Amino acid sequence: MGSTLLQKVWDLHTVRRLPTGQTQLLIGLHLVHEVTSPQAFDMLRLRGQGVAMPERTFATVDHIVPTDGQLRPFLDDMAEQMTVALERNCREFGVPLFGLDSAEQGIVHVIGPELGLTQPGMTIACGDSHTSTHGALGAVAFGIGTSQVRDVLASQSLAMELLKVRRIDITGSRPPGVYAKDVILAIIQRLGVNGGVGFAYEFGGTVVDRMTMDERMTLCNMSIEGGARAGYVNPDETTIAYLRGRRFVPIGAAFERAAAWWRSIASDADTDYDDRLEINGATLAPMVTWGINPGQSLAVDGRVPREADVPAGDSAGVRDALEYMGFSAGAPIAGTRVDVAFIGSCTNGRLSDLREAARIVQGRKVARHVRGLVVPGSKSVAEAAEREGLPEIFRAAGFEWRAAGCSMCLAMNPDRLNGREVCASSSNRNFKGRQGSPTGRTLLMSPAMVAAAAVAGEVTDVRRMLPAGETR
Ligand code: SF4
């Protein structure tokens, strides 16, 4: 019987079994940002400890940075203090920092793969839930809390329970207008937001095989929203082509040796998974969330559920969501008026996301009542988009083109909803108050769908705006 990638990587990184039954797991790459690290560094200082492996630790600023004018000191004193703290901690503990003065600053889950820090077969930890993103490259990547950030800084290891593996195959091909975001929203809708608890999700099948690395990152990014601690795609030729030439990746013969090893850690063909799910890609449609968790979603031509439509145990959740969102049970989701359109985040703030959204808005105008923001996931993404003239397309349509950061994904910065505004968002969480207003409402969807909603001024089916004869 063969092994999964998860099992192979786990075995290779096991330091020892702990008396608790957990595994002490060596962490190959620790990514740090300004929000979850200050107390962890303070704890090291109190104990007189250093960072165990600063050469395997990299930091950036993303959550709190303003995206509209980044002159220092920031107007927000708290943001300035957090940035200063990270700069001081990185200097004192010898951790490389991709700060605002670096051309490589950006959202931590965007810059890791972009720089080639993220590589197949690695164990990766970061104090942010969406660390699962890095699994797109065949890494086993976990989001951790502040006390675990301290543990990894101090010991380069984590106490972890071995996960089960659920293989999720997306077979056939995707219809036009269906993106990786729609695939993962559909998976979470079927399995539920707790369906992945105790599991890592291994994504495969022809639809995933044909996805670009950017798309695989979107898929793995939201594994955590389905309750899975990690999500990954087995490394293949797409992975290897993506990594070749990136800054932290070996070159020449060393790259070929690394690539051979990366291929070898993919799950074996005769692996017996703990669970399996298969979805026919042809059945998928553009998705929109209607509720207050990412599992409460439906196809864009669908209707908001009634309490009677769901199992008895779910009816209270539906009632709560309908009440918060102000939606009528049974109403079509298409036609819901939106006030804000946000394109960005570690889920969908990469170059290919911006390209797809630009294709939709090119030659069109954002509806007069909509505030549209495009926020690149990193400075590198912004520069590449600028070389292609994407900011001009967005600005001509009426969007604001911003600097790199997390922005309105969680609004720990000035980009936030006001009052009960409805936001068409390419981010990953639609929890109550997630985008900065305690009563703000978030509709998750693909960047192309956000672009279409911005133009229409309401939720609409992006397939109507695709160029004629479109096959993507
Ligand atoms: S974009 Fe959102 S989910 Fe991603 S790292 Fe930033 S705050 Fe976290």
DSSP summary character for residue 260: H
- pLDDT of 69 reads 85
| Spans of the chain, pLDDT less than 70 | 469-472
The per-residue pLDDT for range 292-333, each reduced to its tens digit, is 999 999 999 999 999 888 888 888 999 999 999 999 999 999
Pocket flag, ligand 1, residue 461 (CB < 6 Å) = no
CA distances from 351 to 66, 250, 272, 356, 390 (A): 20, 24, 36, 9, 10
Distance, CA of 392 to CA of 55 (rounded, Å): 39
Cβ neighbours of residue 57 under 8 Å, at least 6 residues apart? 30, 31, 32, 51, 95, 96, 153
CB 201 within 8 A of CB 166: yes
User: Nearest 5°: CA angle at 213, between 211 and 214?
Assistant: 95
CA 463 vs. chain centroid, Å, equals 24
Q: Which two tokens stand for residue 201?
A: 């999700």
Pocket flag, ligand 1, residue 346 (CB < 6 Å) = yes
- Closest ligand 1 atom, CA of 347? 4
CB 347 within 8 A of CB 428: yes
CA 109 vs. chain centroid, Å, equals 7
CB 10 within 8 A of CB 162: yes
The per-residue pLDDT for range 124-148, each reduced to its tens digit, is 999 999 999 999 999 999 999 999 9
- pLDDT of 308 reads 87
Pocket flag, ligand 1, residue 31 (CB < 6 Å) = no
What do you get for the CA distance between the two ends of the chain, in Å? 38
Residue to probe by mutation, ligand 1, list 62, 218, 375, most atoms within 8 Å of CB: 62
pTM of the entire predicted model: 0.97
CB 445 within 8 A of CB 458: no
Pocket flag, ligand 1, residue 107 (CB < 6 Å) = yes
